[in-house]
Amino acid sequence: MPECIESDKVTGEDCFVMRLVVRDIAQLDTLLDGLAEYAQCNTSVVKSSPVKRRLPPL
């Protein structure tokens, strides 16, 4: 799945958190439809990133 740029195995109700890059909601719907036979999906859309990912100071 080339749209997946990151995936983390997590604790709690969800098993994985995936970060996808898609052109539009239609492409997202297509991807989710394909995953539906393997897993239940919960979806959130990032509206903005006020704090960019960064490494802690060493």
Contact 38, 22 (CB under 8 A): no
pTM reported for the whole predicted model: 0.71
CA separation for the pair 32, 56 (Å, rounded): 34
pLDDT digits (tens, 9 = 90+) for 1-58: 899 999 999 999 889 999 999 999 999 999 999 999 998 999 999 899 899 888 889 8
Where helices occur in the chain by DSSP H, the ranges are 25-35
| Domain residue limits, the chain | 1-46
Contact 3, 20 (CB under 8 A): yes
C-alpha dist (Å) from residue 33 to 42, 54, 56: 12, 33, 38
CA 43 to chain centre: 8
